[in-house]
Chain A
Amino acid sequence: MSGNEAVLTVRGLNVDYGTGDGAVHALRDVDLTLHRGEVLGLAGESGCGKSTLAYAVTRLLPPPGVITGGEVHYHRQGGGALDLLALSAAELRAFRWQELSIVFQGAMNSLNPVHTVHSQLTDVLRAHRPELKRPERTARARELLELVGISADRLPAYPHQLSGGMRQRVMIAMALALEPEIVIMDEPTTALDVVMQRQILRQLVRLREELGFSVVFITHDISLLIEFSDRIAIMYGGRIVEEAAASSIYRDPRHPYSDGLLHSFPALHGARRELTGIPGSPPHLSAMPAGCAFHPRCGRALDVCATHVPVLAAPDDADPRTVACWLHGQAPAMTSRS
């Protein structure tokens, strides 16, 4: 279903928190491509930089975040690219939500508590579609609510009058208000119970088939990703360590970290696997180990892992996948430490 046409390309993206001597590198040389119509999953433990990546792409990273290098291009349907990092504030405002919308994590806090659902669904129309009249905006808001399975008479409700699941649906309805090309979903269902999670994700899949947008789906729950996404990128310590089709990651993870991540969650379908998890905890951004950031926790680390950062490269020509690991690259001939 995913063509090979790119809709968003990220090249060599670097993000720091803070400036000067106290700066912490949150993203390092991240390359990523989102194709038109696909669901791209971003996985990793908390603090690996997956949310930072999503917010940096849209330049929504709160202070003290600073983008220190790289490029982010948005490709229009008819051709022609837009450099998102070079847009002025006004251009960025016009771009946002029109082309790229976001469903934020934490449904509880994403809605403004003092405005009605109606007001929050229509203010985005007022900003981007000034030609619409008030009744037309209201009609569109009703349509959107019904699209996500909420009765339109909830329009005058305030967020505190809605359940968690309903609030998240309102956020999804809001994200689709302008029929954008890209929807970023940042842990869209973590605050919800499992039944509600599946229900909302199924609905999303249906809506995507109807409306044909591309999705960047961020979660630490890799089993959800394997079920719902086409391709998966796995992040660790501010870098992408492996990227491949969802089925390839599931069947044959190449990076030891991907392997560990897969074994940290029970699989939903297929054979039962042993849950082993990963020993230790992710490194702090301010104290990143030298070499491959994962090597202190890696059971298969080589000597080179502690000194040299592996680059993201194709492990073999057969599969369109990449991995950043000395076990699979043109590693200098060295023996395993253990």
Chain B
Amino acid sequence: MKYLLQRLAFYLVTAWAAITINFLIPRMMPGDPVQALLARFQGRLDTGAVDSLKALFGLDEQQSLWQQYTDYWSHLLDGDLGLSFTFFPTPVSEVIAQSLPWTLALVGITTLISFLLGTGIGVFTGWRRGSWMDSLLPVTTFISAIPYFWLGLIAIALFAVKWPLFPAAGGYDSSLVPAFDWPFVSSALYHGALPGLTIVLSAVAGWILGMRNMMVTVSSEDYVMVAQAKGLSERRVMFGYAARNAILPNISGFALSLGFIVGGTLLVEMVFSYPGIGYQLFQAVGAKDYPLMQGVFLIITLSVLAANLLADVLYMVLDPRTRREA
């Protein structure tokens, strides 16, 4: 329990740091890009929206930095992230609320699949060293060096343009109305297949390499030799002793590399015009929509923190040493 509370405190500190960074970035940058945008949208914004944008981006020069900071927090706590310029006049929070489920589904499912698949393959390659599977390693190295988005481009070129098996863009058939029924869900799965495969293919290599190296390291631990000396079945030694211990650092690694993976998957969304927050970020960058960009950054950070917390809970379940009685 103590372990979990410690982690929780750490994530709160991290969330605070991320929000503060978000607060400082526009205030530290030269020029006033948001001011320019405000001028462009002059007359189309009501006073409330102007006020919240001023609070979020520090345009009110009468206020001290501290006042700006408390103002900023009070807007955030109200769930007010300002108005999006790209989807004017939709609030940023609404744009994000619409796109977040798509990202959570795509990234969540593919990350889980690639973690399980990569860890599984890594267990076998690490255990059976010197077998034919070692020859897979250079291939995985090459694949893991390919940027996600470029693999996405190739996937589109091959499987959407050359052989039109999958749609090249979108999250569902645009003739359908989003609803939780079979035509819509199947269309969403069909559209998600190619981006999903791209993410799995590029992410799985890293897990294979990480788990292989952990298996190799753990295989020379004393307790694995004891298990062999005890004459236990190969399955028991490999899973109950070697893999069971090797997976622990891999789970910590999972938590730490999540930020990196999310970065990559955002790019895949951009390439596939997938209606998640990565694509929104792409559009926001193109339109210089700073409120949306910052909102997306906050949401991504908070989601990564939540996923980290889940990984910590899993780690606690798997490692008795973190479960010290209070």
A–B direct contact (CB < 8 Å): yes
Chain A residues with CB under 8 Å of chain B are 58, 60, 62-63, 89, 92-98, 101-102, 104, 106, 109-116, 123-124, 127-128, 158, 160, 171, 174
Q: Residue A96 contacts which of B129, B230, B240 (CB distance < 8 angstroms)?
A: B230
With an 8 A cutoff between CB atoms, is B6 at the interface? no
With an 8 A cutoff between CB atoms, is B233 at the interface? yes
Chain B residues with CB under 8 Å of chain A are 129, 220-223, 225-234, 236, 240-241, 244-245, 248, 318-321
Q: What chain A residues lie within 8 Å of B240 (beta carbons)?
A: 112, 115, 123
User: What's the nearest-Cβ distance from chain B to residue A59, in Å?
Assistant: 9
Cβ-defined contact, A113 with B321, below 8 A: yes
Max chain B Cβ within 10 angstroms of own Cβ: one of A111, A113, A160: A113
User: What's the nearest-Cβ distance from chain B to residue A165, in Å?
Assistant: 17
| CA–CA, A128 and B226, complex, Å | 15
User: What's the nearest-Cβ distance from chain A to residue B246, in Å?
Assistant: 11
User: What's the nearest-Cβ distance from chain B to residue A144, in Å?
Assistant: 13
Q: Residue B227 contacts which of A58, A62, A92, A112 (CB distance < 8 angstroms)?
A: A112
Q: What chain B residues lie within 8 Å of A114 (beta carbons)?
A: 244-245, 248, 318-320
Q: Residue A109 contacts which of B221, B228, B236 (CB distance < 8 angstroms)?
A: B221
Cβ-defined contact, A104 with B222, below 8 A: yes
Max chain A Cβ within 10 angstroms of own Cβ: one of B220, B221, B225: B225
Q: What chain B residues lie within 8 Å of A123 (beta carbons)?
A: 230, 232, 236, 240
User: What's the nearest-Cβ distance from chain B to residue A19, in Å?
Assistant: 11
| CA–CA, A50 and B223, complex, Å | 20
Cβ-defined contact, A124 with B222, below 8 A: no
User: What's the nearest-Cβ distance from chain B to residue A129, in Å?
Assistant: 11
Q: Residue A124 contacts which of B221, B230, B234, B321 (CB distance < 8 angstroms)?
A: B230
| 22 sample A-B contacts, Cβ–Cβ < 8 Å, listed by A number | A62-B220, A92-B231, A96-B228, A98-B231, A101-B229, A101-B230, A102-B229, A104-B222, A104-B229, A109-B221, A109-B223, A110-B222, A112-B223, A112-B227, A112-B240, A112-B241, A112-B244, A112-B245, A113-B245, A113-B320, A127-B232, A127-B236
Q: Residue B231 contacts which of A104, A128, A158 (CB distance < 8 angstroms)?
A: A128
Q: What chain A residues lie within 8 Å of B230 (beta carbons)?
A: 96-97, 101, 123-124, 127, 174
User: What's the nearest-Cβ distance from chain A to residue B288, in Å?
Assistant: 51
| CA–CA, A111 and B230, complex, Å | 12
A96/B320 contact (C-beta < 8 A), A60-B225, A114-B244, A123-B240 known:
no
Q: Residue B321 contacts which of A62, A96, A160 (CB distance < 8 angstroms)?
A: A160
A94/B223 contact (C-beta < 8 A), A113-B245, A114-B319, A123-B236 known:
no
Q: Residue A104 contacts which of B225, B318, B321 (CB distance < 8 angstroms)?
A: B225
Max chain A Cβ within 10 angstroms of own Cβ: one of B226, B236, B318: B226
Q: Closest chain A residue to B320 by CB distance?
A: A158
18 extra interchain contacts, Cβ-Cβ under 8 A, other than A96-B230, A114-B248, A116-B320? A58-B229, A60-B228, A60-B229, A62-B220, A89-B234, A92-B231, A94-B231, A96-B229, A97-B231, A102-B226, A104-B222, A106-B222, A111-B226, A113-B223, A115-B240, A124-B230, A124-B232, A127-B231
Cβ-defined contact, B236 with A104, below 8 A: no
Cβ-defined contact, A110 with B318, below 8 A: no
Q: What chain B residues lie within 8 Å of A158 (beta carbons)?
A: 320-321
A93/B321 contact (C-beta < 8 A), A104-B225, A111-B223 known:
no
Cβ-defined contact, B223 with A62, below 8 A: no
Q: Closest chain A residue to B231 by CB distance?
A: A96
A110/B223 contact (C-beta < 8 A), A115-B240, A127-B236, A158-B321 known:
yes
User: What's the nearest-Cβ distance from chain B to residue A264, in Å?
Assistant: 27
| CA–CA, A71 and B227, complex, Å | 24
| CA–CA, A116 and B321, complex, Å | 11
Q: What chain B residues lie within 8 Å of A97 (beta carbons)?
A: 229-231
| CA–CA, A158 and B325, complex, Å | 12
Q: Closest chain A residue to B223 by CB distance?
A: A112
| CA–CA, A92 and B319, complex, Å | 31
User: What's the nearest-Cβ distance from chain A to residue B28, in Å?
Assistant: 47
| CA–CA, A330 and B234, complex, Å | 51
Q: What chain A residues lie within 8 Å of B220 (beta carbons)?
A: 62
User: What's the nearest-Cβ distance from chain A to residue B320, in Å?
Assistant: 4
Max chain B Cβ within 10 angstroms of own Cβ: one of A104, A109, A112, A124: A112
Q: What chain B residues lie within 8 Å of A98 (beta carbons)?
A: 231
User: What's the nearest-Cβ distance from chain A to residue B324, in Å?
Assistant: 9
Cβ-defined contact, A62 with B225, below 8 A: yes
| CA–CA, A94 and B234, complex, Å | 12
A110/B231 contact (C-beta < 8 A), A62-B220, A115-B240, A160-B321 known:
no
User: What's the nearest-Cβ distance from chain A to residue B156, in Å?
Assistant: 44
Q: Closest chain B residue to A114 by CB distance?
A: B244
Q: What chain B residues lie within 8 Å of A113 (beta carbons)?
A: 223, 245, 319-321
Q: What chain A residues lie within 8 Å of B319 (beta carbons)?
A: 113-114
Q: What chain A residues lie within 8 Å of B221 (beta carbons)?
A: 109
Q: What chain B residues lie within 8 Å of A96 (beta carbons)?
A: 228-231
| CA–CA, A111 and B221, complex, Å | 10
Q: What chain B residues lie within 8 Å of A110 (beta carbons)?
A: 222-223, 226
